């Protein structure tokens, strides 16, 4: 059973949510106090964090900052009103944090936790499959860190997204956990796209991974140089997240 760390003020809403969710997860509860949150997370890291934002304000921003700075790998589901969300806008825009707006049914909270943990929830039988869904992996390689974070925002809803800001970082990721498809920036310092592409093809088991080049240069000679490498395809930059999603969906689902 997956472990969920539930942070919030004890009230009827908190108790109702806790009572509902404990039938599906191992719930550990904690009041919204930074020192207590730090201590519990240090002792026993959960699979997910749930935060009830009732009566939380800027005084509690340290809790969000601690989770983001130290436990970025743990997905966080936050439940709060529009006014409560406003206190933590800088975190709500980050992919680690998922926001649900009150009023909301407990089942919707359950569904969101299952989603971030990649578990199957059956609303008819009211059961949660303990096995993680096997998601296809997409690797985005671009020296513009902001751009790849934007591109990942749509993809991560359906795929496991890996991010690299250099050719060397991409090669390390591929060596440890091979993606199913790669989007590779052609113009990068140090290892450019061409060199990175050639080294990818030399990695055992990676030679058949489809690679799509992202290029901002549109002249014929440049495009031909890209095509001569025989990638799976190429996209002109700036490529929108919707375009990346469309190509990924079409190529991996066919």
Q: Is the pTM value of this prediction over 0.85? A: no
> Is CATH 3.40.640.10 what the domain over 3-129 is classified as, yes or no?
no
Q: Helix 34-43 vs helix 61-70: angle between axes, to the nearest 10 degrees?
A: 30
Half-sphere exposure of 236 (CA within 13 A, CB side): 6
Question: Strand runs (DSSP E) across 120-215, as ranges?
Answer: 120-122, 127-129, 137-141, 160-164, 181-185, 211-215
pLDDT tens figures, 223-240: 787 788 888 888 888 777
| Alpha carbon distance, N-terminus to C-terminus of the chain | 34
What topology is assigned to 137-253 in CATH? Answer: Rossmann fold (3.40.50)
Highest mean pLDDT among 53-67, 116-130, 141-155, 184-198: 53-67
Q: Start-end ranges of CATH 3.40.50.2300 in the chain?
A: 3-129, 137-253
Cα–Cα distance measured from residue 214 to residue 140, given in angstroms and rounded to the nearest whole number: 10
From 2-16, 174-188, 197-211, 238-252, the region with the lowest mean pLDDT: 238-252
Q: 136 near 181, Cβ under 8 Å?
A: yes
pLDDT tens figures, 33-91: 999 999 999 888 999 999 999 999 999 999 999 999 999 999 999 999 999 999 898 88
């Amino acid at each position: 059973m997956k472990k969920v760390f539930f942070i919030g003020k004890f009230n009827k809403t908190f108790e109702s949510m806790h009572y509902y969710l404990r039938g599906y997860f191992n719930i550990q509860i904690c009041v919204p106090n930074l020192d207590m949150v730090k201590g519990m997370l240090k002792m026993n890291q959960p699979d997910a964090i749930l935060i009830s934002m009732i009566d939380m304000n800027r005084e509690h921003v340290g809790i969000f900052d601690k989770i983001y700075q130290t436990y970025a790998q743990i997905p966080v589901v936050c439940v709060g009103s529009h006014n409560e969300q406003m206190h933590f806008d800088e975190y709500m825009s980050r992919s680690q944090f998922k926001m649900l707006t009150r009023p909301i049914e407990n089942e919707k909270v359950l569904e969101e936790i299952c989603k971030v943990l990649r578990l199957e929830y059956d609303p008819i039988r009211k059961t949660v499959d303990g096995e993680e869904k096997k998601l296809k992996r997409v690797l985005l390689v671009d020296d513009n860190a902001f751009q790849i974070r934007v591109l990942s925002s749509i993809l991560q809803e359906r795929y496991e997204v890996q991010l690299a800001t250099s050719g060397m970082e991409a090669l390390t990721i591929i060596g440890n956990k091979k993606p199913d498809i790669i989007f590779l920036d052609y113009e990068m310092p140090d290892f450019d796209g061409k060199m990175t592409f050639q080294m990818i093809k030399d990695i055992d088991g990676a030679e058949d991974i489809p690679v799509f080049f992202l290029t901002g240069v549109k002249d014929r000679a440049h495009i031909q140089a890209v095509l001569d490498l025989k990638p799976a395809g190429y996209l002109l930059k700036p490529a929108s997240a919707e375009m990346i999603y469309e190509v990924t969906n079409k190529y991996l689902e066919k």
